[in-house]
Amino acid sequence: MEEPRIGVYVCWCGTNISKMVDVEAVTNEVKALPNVTIAKNYKYMCSDPGQDLIIKDIKLHNLNRVVVAACSPRIHELTFRTACEKAGINPYLFEMANVREQDSWVHTDRTEATNKAIDLVVAAIRRVRYHEPLQKRFVNVNPATLIIGGGISGLTAALEIANAGKQVYLVEKSDQLGGQVKKFDLTFPHLSSAQQMIRPIVQRVDNHPNISVFLETEIREVTGYIGNFKTAISVNGGDPVELEFGNIIAAVGLKPFNPEVISEYNYKEFPDVITSFEFEEKLLAGRILTVYGKEPRNVAIIHCVGSRNKKYHEYCSRVCCMAALKYVHQVRAALPSANIFEIYADMRAYGKGHEEFYALTTHRQIMFLMYDQQKKLPVINQADRSDNCNMIIEMDELLSGQSIEVPVDMVILMVNMEAQENVKQVVRAIGVSLCGNQFFIEKHPKLDPVATTTGGVYIIGTCQGPKDIPDSVAQARAAAARILGAIAQGSVPIEVTTASVNELLCCGCQTCIGVCPYKAISYDENNKVSIVNEILCKGCGTCGSACPAGAIISKHFTDLQILSEIEGVMSMS
């Protein structure tokens, strides 16, 4: 290894750092440390002049390592790595010390903060000495795409990709395309027909030359990695068909919550207590009738059934409030003299045109009644003969503070949007994680909502979380754009900071194979050693810490690097 020549740069960040950390003292403290060629401080290291300072020094002083003490590496690591690259040194020969988010901003004693900054910078200097250059790598992308789920999201993504001239394999578990939208009558807030929306899309998918649809088919196992996946599917129990594709979109959708578990609502007990999905069937059939074949005179719509309640699901399903208001319009149109009760916990009208839709609905002779989800749910009871109605809802009305009785003949339960059941198989096959509510986890909740931590695997629609049609479609098109981008490039960059096996040390115990969540390690029977597929590896390092022989190297997080860092933070005390 060539002798490290380290340049250390301490950032003031205006007064953000310099107010609490004596940057001059830090610079002086580290100046004389071994391997430190030059140490400087500057007002804003991330600015163009700041970066130029590094670039010039690298060239002038022939530096081969750089340490910047500034903000969190989550913010500017890439900035400085790029600067190093510009100056001609490998970007991984750089290390950052976080002296803002984890020092100057959280402490109040200037001496203590300065000492801490020194510790952190020393640690970074010790660590960077053992950094090794890493090379960017790419894999080719198969232009075909596998889409799992034939609902509105899957169909939209399929058309988007197929229209760009690329092959799509669309796999659907049920016997028809269209998903939940096909079960709906109207959509909110424009009250336009769901059928007129979904049918042409299904037709276009069915007839598209670039889309192969596989109905009643499930994905059991997927092998390969980004750009080069493989699966075998069997259609109608026939011989398995082998498919190859470069990207995967999971659009497995949702499942309506089963309200039987909520004893207050007596669902199944009373035949005229129905879920919103069952009510859609009535609407599609064209008549709103009770089980007695009569038009209901009193219709109640109960919101948040299974939602926003720690006993069932804590999260909000997002679409039920507006769907409930949609029912108001539909019931009002069908039964002009009926009494309609909206029994809600909070009215959530966050979307485009939703608040207006809500305002419009308030003028349609509806009685809005509010209940407290946390205190007491409304209770549906059988009515007496003298009540002149089918059922009675007893509830504590929040806005009036009154305990009231509501006469009803039909109750619509706005059921929660649950994650699909039985997705474990798909989850394992494509390598995505589930959150506590069993929804698929995206790569970044804000900045990368359709990708996952597995390269080449995207999640769209309600399997990622409850959402309405426009949001599902937007995600579908977003994922399609990402995939088309990768296909257009022809190849995609893959993780650099992966694990690798030092075959001389490996004893072939295969401990690492068991701990790898990405099936990235395999056993080489011939040489009796483990081998890391660096395309599948995400660089978590779990195998490295599990290896009893110390044969696995976690690139950029090697034992030596981390141990030096530990020595560094402790060296000044």
Partner 1 sequence: MDFRPKIVAFLCNWCAYTGADLAGTSRIHYAPNIRIIRIMCSGRIEPTFILKAFQQGADGVLVCGCHPGDCHYQEGNYKCLRRFKLLQKFTRQMGIEKDRLRLEWISASEGKQFAELVNDMTKTLLSMGPSKVKSSLEVEHLNV
Partner 2 sequence: MSVRVHPELRNQLMQFGIGDWNACYHCGTCTAMCPLSEEGFLFPRKKIRLMQMGLKNEIESSVEPWLCYYCGDCTSTCPRDANPGELMMSLRRYLTSIYDWTGLSKKFYTSEVWEIGSILLIAVLVVIAFLIGLPAMGYSFTTELTSQGGVKINSFAPIHIIEAFDWAMAIVVGGLLISNILRMYYKIIWKHGHTKVTFWVHVREFWRLVFNFSVQPKFGKCDDKRYWFSHWFLMSGYTIMFIVVVVFLPWFQTEKILPPWHLQRALGYYATFGLLFGLLVAITGRMRRKDVKFYFSHVSDWLFLVMLTLTVITGILIHIFRIYGMPYATYIFYIIHMAVLVPMILIEVPFSKWSHLAYRPFAVYFQHLKTHAVPRKTKINSIN
Q: Which one of the spans 119-127, 142-150, 396-404, 477-485 is the region binding partner 1 (CB under 8 A)?
A: 119-127
d(CA 7, CA 54): 8
Q: Determine if 57 is a binding residue for partner 1 (CB under 8 A).
A: no
SS (H, E, C) 112-143: HHHHHHHHHHHHHHHHHCCCCCCCCEEEECCC
d(CA 503, CA 527): 9
CA-closest candidate to residue 510, choices 497, 524, 500? 524
Answer with the entry of partner 2, partner 1, none that 107 interacts with (C-beta below 5 to 8 A by kind). Answer: partner 1
Q: Determine if 545 is a binding residue for partner 1 (CB under 8 A).
A: yes
CA-closest candidate to residue 65, choices 32, 35, 28, 27? 35
CB of 509 to partner 1, least distance (A): 16
Q: How many residues belong to the site for partner 2 (CB under 8 A)?
A: 22
d(CA 198, CA 155): 9
Q: Which is nearer to partner 1, 94 or 327 (by Cβ)?
A: 94
Residue 48, C-beta contacts closer than 8 angstroms, at least 6 positions apart? none
Q: Which is nearer to partner 2, 101 or 394 (by Cβ)?
A: 394
Q: Determine if 369 is a binding residue for partner 2 (CB under 8 A).
A: yes
Q: Which is nearer to partner 2, 342 or 471 (by Cβ)?
A: 342
Interface pick for partner 1 out of 497, 500, 511, 522 (rule CB under 8 A): 497
d(CA 226, CA 248): 9
Interface pick for partner 2 out of 321, 345, 366, 529 (rule CB under 8 A): 366
CB of 331 to partner 2, least distance (A): 13
Answer with the entry of partner 1, partner 2, none that 389 interacts with (C-beta below 5 to 8 A by kind). Answer: none
> Which H or E run includes 406?
strand 402-408
Q: Which is nearer to partner 1, 119 or 409 (by Cβ)?
A: 119
Q: Site residues for partner 2, window 159-218 (CB under 8 A)? A: none
Answer with the entry of partner 1, partner 2, none that 286 interacts with (C-beta below 5 to 8 A by kind). Answer: none
Q: Determine if 517 is a binding residue for partner 1 (CB under 8 A).
A: yes
Interface pick for partner 2 out of 32, 209, 293, 399 (rule CB under 8 A): 399
Q: Is the dihedral of CA 442, 446, 451, 453 positive or negative?
A: negative
Q: Which is nearer to partner 2, 64 or 298 (by Cβ)?
A: 298
CA-closest candidate to residue 272, choices 286, 287, 256, 292? 292
Q: Which is nearer to partner 2, 58 or 370 (by Cβ)?
A: 370
Are 228 and 139 a contacting pair, CB within 8 Å?
Answer: yes
CB of 275 to partner 2, least distance (A): 24
Interface pick for partner 1 out of 24, 52, 109, 206 (rule CB under 8 A): 109
Q: Determine if 541 is a binding residue for partner 1 (CB under 8 A).
A: yes
Conformational region of residue 230, where left means phi above 0, alpha means psi within -120 to 50, and beta covers everything else = beta
Q: Pull the structure tokens for residue 477.
A: 């098109």
Are 463 and 252 a contacting pair, CB within 8 Å?
Answer: yes
Interface pick for partner 1 out of 65, 116, 129, 318 (rule CB under 8 A): 116
Q: Determine if 403 is a binding residue for partner 2 (CB under 8 A).
A: yes
Q: Is the dihedral of CA 121, 125, 127, 128 positive or negative?
A: positive
Interface pick for partner 1 out of 283, 515, 531, 549 (rule CB under 8 A): 515
Q: Determine if 404 is a binding residue for partner 2 (CB under 8 A).
A: yes
CA distance between the termini of the chain: 29
Q: Which is nearer to partner 1, 306 or 568 (by Cβ)?
A: 568
Q: Which one of the spans 363-371, 404-412, 465-473, 537-545 is the region binding partner 1 (CB under 8 A)?
A: 537-545
Answer with the entry of partner 1, partner 2, none that 369 interacts with (C-beta below 5 to 8 A by kind). Answer: partner 2
Q: Determine if 363 is a binding residue for partner 2 (CB under 8 A).
A: yes
Answer with the entry of partner 2, partner 1, none that 106 interacts with (C-beta below 5 to 8 A by kind). Answer: partner 1
Answer with the entry of partner 1, partner 2, none that 368 interacts with (C-beta below 5 to 8 A by kind). Answer: partner 2
Q: Determine if 70 is a binding residue for partner 1 (CB under 8 A).
A: no
d(CA 368, CA 425): 43
Q: How many CB atoms within 10 Å of residue 432?
A: 23
Residue 90, C-beta contacts closer than 8 angstroms, at least 6 positions apart? 84, 133, 134
Q: How many CA atoms lie within 13 A of 223 on its CB side?
A: 8
Q: Determine if 422 is a binding residue for partner 2 (CB under 8 A).
A: no
Interface pick for partner 1 out of 43, 107, 297, 376 (rule CB under 8 A): 107
Q: Determine if 521 is a binding residue for partner 1 (CB under 8 A).
A: no
Q: Determine if 496 is a binding residue for partner 1 (CB under 8 A).
A: no
Adjacency order of strands within the sheet including 168-171 = 211-214, 168-171, 145-148, 247-250, 457-459
Residue found by looking up tokens 């002038």 in the block: 60
Are 463 and 440 a contacting pair, CB within 8 Å?
Answer: yes
Are 552 and 512 a contacting pair, CB within 8 Å?
Answer: yes
C-alpha triplet 243, 246, 247: angle, nearest 5°: 100
Residue numbers of the site for partner 1 (CB under 8 A)?
A: 72-74, 98, 100-103, 105-109, 112-113, 115-116, 119-120, 123, 431, 433-436, 441, 453, 497, 515, 517-518, 538-542, 544-546, 554, 557, 559, 562-563, 565-567, 569-571, 573
Residue numbers of the site for partner 2 (CB under 8 A)?
A: 298, 339, 341, 347, 359, 362-363, 365-369, 394, 397, 399-400, 402-407
